Amino acid sequence: MTIIVADTTCGLPRAMLEARGIPLIPQVVTFGEESFHDSQEMDTAMFLQRLKASSVLPKTAAPEPSLYVPIFKQAQENGESVIVVAPTGKASGTVRSAETAAQDFAGVDIHVVDTQTISCNLGSLVLLADDMAKAGESASEIVAKLNDLIPRGRLYFLVDTLEYLAKGGRIGGAKRLLAELLEIKPILQVKNGQVESFEQQRTKKRALARLVEIVAEQCPGGDSAHLCVIQVEAENEAQALVAELKSRVSVSQIPIYELPPAIVVHAGPRAMGVGFFA
């Protein structure tokens, strides 16, 4: 048996992961001197309330290596393998934390997979790995499948305001002001494991229409594409986006996942996006 390990940047609901028996490792969110484990001590609603009231941007940190130790001990005792399906190492220290913990379990079959992505695409990889593990496939077979899918991942998202990118030092205040005056809505992408600019649109309506076009152009359709939508404080718009996507791409289901605090730190409220595998 292989244990699949997720962390909160995957955005999958805690209840879903608990039902599947998938351990969920929390990221750390810090407001000043206070630190919280997201999803455990602070959910997205609580985080948003504090975020909007804060004059400075909170910080995020990778999970402590000690959080992986009980899982690795269980695998050691039961003769099991472990696959940590981790967010991109270029934006998170999660890979490093898991690898650090694994150093004390040299005799255990532990695989730490840098998926080079975050959010719903990471969640899709977690669910796929768990399905394969429950079907009795070996850890090496699961890792090979993940490594095949990773370079095919596409994740595009748009932010409702540049405020949080400005607070985080990603853009200057003058640029933010000009962009907001012109109603520019940047579409961002996760490419080669890091967040990059994809293009800009005038108005959110055009940006959402462009997301649909991108999916129609690049998504192959079928459930193997693992098409999903992400949102925070934009559930109605996300539902409308799903309806539009279903009219353009042949898929049976398009799940909507809420962005976790560790991602909302940078994206801000009302962010939305789409993820799939080409």
- As for how many domains the chain has, the answer is 2
User: What CATH number does the domain containing 37 carry?
Assistant: 3.40.50.10170
Span 232-260, pLDDT tens digits:
999 999 999 999 999 999 998 999 999 99
Decide which of 151, 168, 195 is a domain's last residue. 151
Residues 156 and 134 in one domain: no
Decide which of 118, 151, 184 is a domain's last residue. 151
Q: Which of 167, 189, 224 is nearest to 52 (CA)?
A: 167
Residues 63 and 157 in one domain: no
Better-scored residue on pLDDT, 17 or 31: 17
Residues 7 and 34 in one domain: yes
Place of tokens 């898929």: 251
Residues 161 and 143 in one domain: no
Residue 213: count of CB within 10 angstroms of its CB: 10
- The domain of 76 spans 2-151
Decide which of 100, 129, 151 is a domain's last residue. 151
Spatial separation of the C-alpha atoms in residues 7 and 83, rounded to whole Å: 12
Phi and psi dihedrals of 256, rounded to 5?
-115, 125
Residues 268 and 139 in one domain: no
Residues 15 and 129 in one domain: yes
Span 184-206, pLDDT tens digits:
788 889 998 888 888 888 888 99
Return the pLDDT at 174.
Answer: 45
End-to-end CA distance of the chain: 29
Amino acid at 1: M
